[in-house]
Chains A and B, each alone.
Chain A
Amino acid sequence: MDELIRILTQSLAEAIAPTTAAFAIAAIGLNLHFGYTGLLNMGQAGFMLLGAYGFGISTIAGAPFFLALLIALGAGLIFAVVLGIPTLQLRGDYLAIVTISAAEIIRWIGRSTWLQEWTGGASGLQGRNYKGTFQDLSPLPDGRTTIGPLEYINTGSDSWWTRLFAWGVVAVVLLFVWLITRSPWGRVLKGIREDEDAVRALGKNVYSYKLQSLVLGGMLGSLGGVLYVLPLTIAPDAMGRTMTFFAWTVLLLGGAATVFGPVLGSMIFFGAYMLMRTGMRALSENTGVGNIISTTNVEQIGGMLVGATLMLLVIFRPQGILGNKKELAFNVR
């Protein structure tokens, strides 16, 4: 019984963890790309890593918190423009190919010895080097706080302040995305998703709108990257393709082209992922299941199950949890 409560508490904690909020933001960006504009960005992790580097390196160089945040967003902006200008005039698949490779290039540059002085190479940047400015902003008093089953220090890496800030950012971003997607601007994006030639024939500069969407979603990716590393370290290998596919799973689980989908998807995905892994580990340790699945295999099996979930989602519930089935009925061109 205690064991079960421990597992459930851990899952709940994961569902409201700052990294979950970070994925929610990255998935909101991806939602702008894919859900609203129909762009296939397969390199959201690249935007996140670039945002993390932008924030970390500038903070270490002495920039105050908000300047470092702006630099992180600027890095996402430039990356999106560089990727978008050559590829957005081509068919959608090309953007997917270019983004996935560009994200890998960023990661490999980050872990190479070439820029080790700034990026820290493969071992990355230690959290204590860049978290100071963020933690100084905390309005919370010193000490620890317990809310329900959850207990964290008020200010620090894995703290209430990190959670408060991350979910506060999610709330602001949600409001902003809700406002812009219900506007005529959002309607043009949806038109482009349906048929860009038709929108072009109505006198809209499709290329410019696609670039705006790519830039905005990419900057949200970078913001997500900053939130992701606030409680952790900046490690290039932790922000690779897996991260991109987690963001996609989060988006498709919650429901593309919905406002709350990415947030709900992120909380459910990471809560369930944690439940699955801790549950399997507990079963493996305490019951006969251990003969079949040893504790060392739990992570790998967890990863496989995420992949299988993504496949099943796309096949059986492509609209996700919040999506509108009716909208998808016409998705046959």
Chain B
Amino acid sequence: MSADETTHAAPGTGPGDEAGRAPASVVDAAAAAAQEPSSATAVEARGELAEIEPVVGVSKPDAILVADDVVRRFGGMTACDVDHLEVQRGAITALIGPNGAGKTTFFNLLTGFDTPQSGTWSFEGRSLQGKSGARVAKAGMVRTFQLTKALSRLTVLQNMLLAAPDNPGERFWLSWLPFTWRAHEMAATEKAMEILARFKLADKAPDYAGSLSGGQRKLLEMARALMTDPTMIMLDEPMAGVNPVLVQSLLGHVQALRDEGMTVLFVEHDMHAVRHISDWVVVMAEGRIVAEGPPASVMRDQAVVDAYLGAHHDTDLGDDSLLDPEILARLEAEEEKR
């Protein structure tokens, strides 16, 4: 049994496989990927999606996640009411919308962290309705959180090892017999160090996670999610509160995940990031999905831009010209006309 599990966890077999490549080359690949889709899967994903008509609830050629009539009400307020959504396998899908649009609520419902009043949703053909967060994660859909949840009083390496799936030593009856889990643990450590190296956290491995900076915690959370060998990774605002340089590197990492064949769904406010890396964009407002399509067309959609990003989202609020009463009057007049 333990031999079986060892081979399972050994680097070289998991979907998040880096065994064939040196970590440095992965980083390079990620940097390159930040420019344009490099791998075959990425090009394929974009190509397939480009042919789809950008209307709400459109069906995708190879949907990994399908949600129907997912409704969540908090008292009298409907926080989330999604009629139909399909998420394409192997693509980066961005979920955008103003604050309070229900993005995170929808995320929580899909990942089993909240229960909807009604609705069905399935992942890889299997229903996830009523499944706990743990079961959803085990099914291969792993999430991160808007407010990073680094396990502060565990070391960075322990954070990673905790995420390793199917560790026999996590069963109470085997836990006090180290020989039953040591092989698995060593394989997991090796894999964890590879992933940490890729996220440039390898030298932080023995430090407490609580001593990391905010950006490093985001990286750790993403790295930890990768340890579970997910097929789909759900990122809740991965760029929030991260400095611009790190945003670039995070974007590279997200694209690298897609290039390895993972499906990514992420909630984001940073429009630049969304435009840059996503293959498909879903726009939510007031709990409903109001538009979806490839980033270029959705961003051009004047209705979406005006209603959900603000009519003057390109205007720099720090711009002195705004202090000019004439220009202000003109902007106000435009607002009136709308």
List residues of A whose CB falls within 8 A of some B CB. 176, 179-180, 183-188, 190-191, 193-195, 197-206, 212, 216, 326-327, 329-331
Contacts and interface: CB of A to CB of B under 8 A. Distances in A.
Given A184-B185, A203-B142, A204-B170, A194 B176 contact: no
B299 interface: no
B161 interface: yes
B153 A197 contact: no
A200 B133 contact: yes
A171 to B, nearest CB: 15
Given A180-B172, A184-B185, A204 B151 contact: no
20 contacts: A180-B172, A184-B185, A185-B171, A185-B172, A185-B174, A187-B161, A188-B162, A198-B149, A199-B162, A200-B134, A202-B162, A202-B224, A203-B134, A203-B135, A203-B138, A204-B162, A216-B172, A327-B208, A330-B208, A331-B153
B154 A187 contact: yes
B115 interface: no
A109 to B, nearest CB: 31
Contacts of A186: 175
B172 A198 contact: no
A180 B175 contact: yes
A55 B66 CA distance: 57
Interface in B248-267: none
Given A191-B154, A191-B162, A184 B167 contact: yes
Contact of B151 (A183, A190, A203, A331): A190
B153 A200 contact: no
Interface residues of B, number: 42
A30 to B, nearest CB: 18
Interface of B: 111, 113, 132-135, 137-138, 142-145, 149-154, 158, 161-163, 165, 167, 169-172, 174-176, 178, 181, 185, 208-211, 224-225, 227-228
B184 to A, nearest CB: 8
Contacts of B135: 203
Given A198-B151, A201-B145, 19 more contacts: A180-B175, A183-B169, A185-B171, A185-B172, A185-B174, A187-B161, A187-B170, A190-B154, A194-B151, A195-B149, A198-B145, A200-B133, A201-B133, A201-B144, A202-B163, A204-B134, A206-B134, A327-B208, A331-B153
A180 B176 contact: yes
Nearest to B208: A330
B136 to A, nearest CB: 8
Contact of A197 (B145, B170, B225): B145
Contacts of B172: 180, 185, 212, 216
Contacts of A180: 172, 175-176
B134 A183 contact: no
B211 A330 contact: yes
Given A188-B162, A206-B134, A330-B211, A201 B143 contact: yes
Nearest to A192: B151
A329 B158 CA distance: 18
Among B133, B137, B209, max chain A CB count under 10 A is at: B133
Contacts of B143: 201
Among A188, A204, A205, A212, max chain B CB count under 10 A is at: A204
B63 to A, nearest CB: 23
Nearest to A185: B175
Contacts of B138: 203
A195 B171 contact: no
A229 B172 CA distance: 30
A183 B167 CA distance: 10
Contact of A205 (B132, B150, B153): B132
Given A199-B162, A205-B134, A183 B175 contact: yes
A261 to B, nearest CB: 15
Contacts of A201: 111, 113, 133, 137, 142-145, 149, 225
Contacts of B154: 187, 190-191, 194
Nearest to B144: A201
A176 B151 CA distance: 25
Contacts of A205: 132, 134
B133 A183 contact: no
B175 A195 contact: no
B169 A184 contact: yes
B114 to A, nearest CB: 11
Contacts of B113: 197, 200-201
A184 B153 contact: no
A212 B171 CA distance: 10
Contact of A184 (B142, B161, B208): B161
Among B153, B167, B171, B210, max chain A CB count under 10 A is at: B153
Among B132, B134, B142, B143, max chain A CB count under 10 A is at: B134
Nearest to A333: B152
Contact of B181 (A183, A190, A329): A183
A193 B153 CA distance: 9
Contacts of A206: 134
Nearest to B138: A203
A327 B162 contact: no
Contacts of A191: 151, 154, 162
A84 to B, nearest CB: 15
Given A180-B175, A187-B154, A200 B132 contact: yes
A184 B151 contact: no
